């Protein structure tokens, strides 16, 4: 009988704890901050010294593929004593402290939701720097993945139909408010969002190519560049005659291998310009190997936003592209 009572008490306590955790999560406030922003919580003395230098070097490194240097993240530093209110509700937080112990911790939705909170603590500067060296890549990867999801959530709040994408290419895409079909061909879609009274825009291109187009002689950068240039000449023209989009010749694009929708993907980042004209901007090209349908699905995003920051515009394009789901 005593064993039964003890067991019942244990179950009640366990359920109560679970209910308490669920209630806590249910009443968490909504997090704040723009995409690609990180709140750094650390005292001024550390921020102005070698620990701060290490954080800036890693988290504010220039983004690959942009025409001008822009930081990976916008960093906002706050001293520990003001870690409350709106600061505590930041979506991405890195807390750095000196402590009797040395360690690293990652908490999800601790003070708000959605939220990523990272703790870095050590007995002295050397230990903290060592942890930053070991864990920065993991922190950056986690924040970027979470911000892609957050960007997709924001896009879904005012979603645009992707029916044409589905019917022509057998995939779905999350297209947010303002995106419209600018060109519809049998084998090609150009989807565009204009802003600044039409002076700037974000574009998404959708088309497909055979395996050989990408894989010939294993020269992926040259093959993707050649493919982009031929598509640009065929479809992406300027307002002046004899102008079309090409890959900027002065700098070779960056090439990465990644996975999108569970499929091997070649990601190319670089700069486009308009041949015989002066327009230019960054692009991201995802060549997704779709073995089931014997093709590479090409999803490309490019931005035109002269003399202004382009980082977050390109990030939105990547959020759209990474939302792809294969339907057949």
17 pLDDT higher than 50: no
Query: Which is more confidently placed, 122 or 23?
Result: 122
E-assigned strand segments in the chain: 37-41, 74-78, 92-98, 103-108, 116-122, 171-172, 180-185, 188-195, 200-209, 245-247, 254-260, 263-274, 280-290, 295-304, 325-326
Q: What is the pLDDT of residues 231-286, one digit of tens each?
A: 999 999 998 999 999 999 888 899 999 999 999 999 999 999 999 998 999 999 99
1 pLDDT higher than 60: no
Does a cis peptide bond (omega within 30 degrees of 0) precede residue 114?
yes
> Model pTM?
0.89
Q: What are the contacts of 139-143 at 24+ separation with CB within 8 A?
A: 139/59, 139/94, 139/106, 140/58, 140/59, 140/72, 140/73, 142/106, 142/116, 142/118, 143/38, 143/73, 143/92, 143/116
% of the chain residues with pLDDT over 90: 85
SS3 119: strand
| Averaged confidence pLDDT in the chain | 91
Cβ neighbours of residue 264 closer than 8 Å, sequence gap 6 or more: 257, 288, 289
If pLDDT is split at 50, 70 and 90, which confidence band does 15 have? very low
92 pLDDT higher than 90: yes
If pLDDT is split at 50, 70 and 90, which confidence band does 10 have? very low
User: First CA to last CA across the chain, in angstroms?
Assistant: 59
Q: What is the pLDDT of residues 283-320, one digit of tens each?
A: 999 999 999 999 999 999 999 999 899 999 999 999 99
Residue 250 has a pLDDT of: 87
If pLDDT is split at 50, 70 and 90, which confidence band does 198 have? confident
The structural domains of the chain, ordered by start, are 27-155 (3.30.379), 159-326 (3.40.1000.10)
84 pLDDT higher than 70: yes
- Lowest model confidence (mean pLDDT) among 4-8, 72-76, 158-162, 176-180: 4-8
Q: What is the pLDDT of residues 97-125, one digit of tens each?
A: 999 999 999 999 999 999 999 999 999 99
Q: Which residues share a beta bridge with 75?
A: 38
If pLDDT is split at 50, 70 and 90, which confidence band does 159 have? confident
**What is the rounded CA–CA span in Å between residue 44 and residue 110?**
24
Task: Quote the crossing angle between the two packed helices 311-321 and 125-156, to the nearest 10°.
Answer: 60
Q: What is the mean pLDDT of residues 57-75?
A: 95
Cβ neighbours of residue 122 closer than 8 Å, sequence gap 6 or more: 98, 99, 102, 103, 128, 130, 131
If pLDDT is split at 50, 70 and 90, which confidence band does 145 have? very high
Please choose, from the candidates 233, 237, 302, 223, the residue with its C-alpha nearest in 3D space to the C-alpha of residue 269.
Answer: 302
């Amino acid at each position: 009988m005593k064993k039964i009572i003890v067991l019942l008490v244990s179950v009640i306590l366990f359920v109560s704890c679970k209910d308490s955790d669920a209630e806590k999560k249910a009443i968490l406030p909504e997090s704040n901050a723009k995409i690609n922003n990180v709140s750094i919580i650390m005292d001024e003395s550390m921020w102005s010294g070698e620990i701060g230098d290490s954080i800036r070097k890693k988290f504010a490194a220039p983004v690959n593929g942009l025409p001008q240097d822009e930081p990976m993240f916008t960093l906002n530093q706050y001293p520990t004593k003001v870690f409350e209110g709106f600061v505590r509700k930041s979506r991405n937080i890195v807390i750095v402290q000196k402590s009797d112990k040395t360690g690293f911790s990652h908490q999800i939705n601790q003070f708000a939701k959605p939220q990523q909170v990272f703790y870095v603590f050590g007995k002295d500067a050397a230990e903290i720097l060592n942890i930053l060296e070991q864990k920065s890549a993991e922190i950056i990867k986690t924040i970027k993945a979470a911000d892609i999801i957050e960007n997709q959530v924001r896009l879904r709040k005012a979603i645009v139909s992707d029916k044409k994408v589905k019917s022509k290419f057998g995939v779905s895409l999350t297209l947010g408010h303002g995106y419209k079909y600018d060109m519809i061909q049998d084998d090609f879609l150009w989807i565009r969002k204009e802003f600044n009274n039409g002076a700037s825009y974000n574009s998404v291109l959708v088309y497909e190519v055979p395996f050989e187009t990408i894989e010939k002689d294993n020269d992926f950068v040259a093959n993707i560049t050649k493919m982009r240039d031929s598509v640009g000449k065929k479809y992406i023209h300027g307002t002046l005659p004899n102008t079309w989009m090409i890959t900027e010749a002065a700098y070779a694009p960056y090439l990465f291998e990644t996975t999108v929708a569970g499929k091997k993907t070649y990601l190319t980042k670089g700069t486009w310009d308009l041949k015989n004209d002066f327009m230019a901007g960054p692009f991201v090209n995802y060549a997704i190997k779709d073995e089931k349908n014997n093709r590479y699905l090409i999803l490309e995003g490019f931005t035109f936003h002269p003399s202004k920051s382009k980082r977050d515009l390109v990030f939105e394009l990547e959020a759209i592209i990474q939302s792809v789901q294969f339907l057949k």
